[in-house]
Structures are given as C-alpha cells and as structure tokens.
Amino acid sequence: MKYGYARVSTHWQASDGNSLEAQIESLNAAGADKIYMDEYSGRTTKRPQLDELLSVISSGDELIVTKLDRMARSVIEGSELIKRLQEKNITVYVLNIGCMDNSPTGRLITNVMLSFAEFERDMIIERTQEGKIAAKRNNPNFKDGRPCKFSDEQMELALELLEKHSYKEVSNMTGISKSTLQRAKNKRMMAYFEKYNKVENVEADIKKKLVEGKK
C-alpha cells in the first residue's frame, strides 16, 4: 500500500508549490493509493492526520511526501521519523530527494540525512552554549535552565491530585503538562529514596556502635 501525506499552512499557499492541490497532484502522480492531509495555522503544530497515517501504515508499505518539511519541522525530526519507519520495513519516498529504502542508494540518502541531522544538533548545542556564556558574562545572576513556570505550592497540589486522578486529568485541571508532572513525581520519589537510604544507613550505624559498645 502506498500512502501519501500532504500538509499546508493556512498562511503559506500556492506560490511555492506547497498548496494542497499541488501536493495531491504530485502524490497521485507518484502512485499514492490513499492520501492523508493536514492543514493548520500558526496557532497549532498538531498533525492529527499524520498521526493517524503512522498508526495504520505497516511493514511493506510506502510513505510518499513531496518534500521533507511536509512531514517534519526540522532535519532532526525528519531523520528520526524516517529511521523509525525504516526499522519497520516501511519505504519513505520524498519526491524532491529520493527513495529511502534498504537499497544502496536508499541507505546513502538516509545516511546523508542523518549526517545533516547530526550537524544540525551540533550547531544547536554550540549556539546554546555560546548564548549561555554570553548571558553569564553580561549577567552574574544568570541561572541555567528554563524558568520555573509553576510555584512549589502548585506542583505539590498537582502531585496530591495524582493520588486519585490520572496524569491526563491532572494536566487538564492544572495546566501542567504530563511530562512536567512525571518529572516532578520522579524527583519526589528520588528524594524520598535518598532520604530513606540515609535514615537506614544512620540506623545501621547506630546499631553497629551499640553492639560494639556492649563488647
């Protein structure tokens, strides 16, 4: 089965050949049996049709897109998605790049993309480090990491709610993302175990000294 995927922004239209009509025409010409389409504005980055496509595509199938940026926002994201699909024996055909399968040419194209992805990661890390150095130089009080969006009281309340509700329910009630809740819960558990181990070690040390004192 050959699946096609098209995506367009409501703020970016036909002038560069990225309109849905132009993409669909190219996908049909490439032999797509079924085409999934997403259209979104700058207010959201969700791609429900791509998510649905990825849930139904299976081994031996082929995914066709006109350009890499139609299914990914960066080379990093695109290369990771292609790698996952290839591991499932799914061929990815990017019309303006080539067919990425297990053939020598397909592997070459994939490796070139992965190299660009690695380069992009390195550049991001380098720019981030340069930014931190500059910030520390200009501001002695600069602290690394993202600023805390929620107070300790809010996080504590959210963790208490997790005792009776799911992550999704607590996230909807508090506005705190599931990943943030999971990190906070894991951090609390680690702190508890560290404290427990310290207490256990102290108790063992006291018992040892008491035994030695009786000798």
DSSP 142-202: --SSPPP-S-HHHHHHHHHHTTTS-HHHHHHHH---HHHHHHHHHHHHHHHHHHHHHHHHH
Question: Residue 74: helix, strand or coil by DSSP?
Answer: coil
Q: Which long-range contacts (CB under 8 A, 24 or more apart) does 83-88 make?
A: 83/110, 83/114, 85/57, 86/110, 88/58, 88/59
Q: Give me the count of residues in the chain.
A: 215
103 token code pair = 């053939």
58 is catalytic: no
Angle between the 178-214 and 167-174 helix axes, to the nearest 10 degrees? 110
Quote the CA–CA distance of 21 and 11 in Å, as a whole number: 15
Please report, for the chain, how many H helices and E strands are present, in that order: 7, 5
Q: What's the first-to-final CA gap in the chain, in angstroms?
A: 80
* Residues catalogued as catalytic: 9
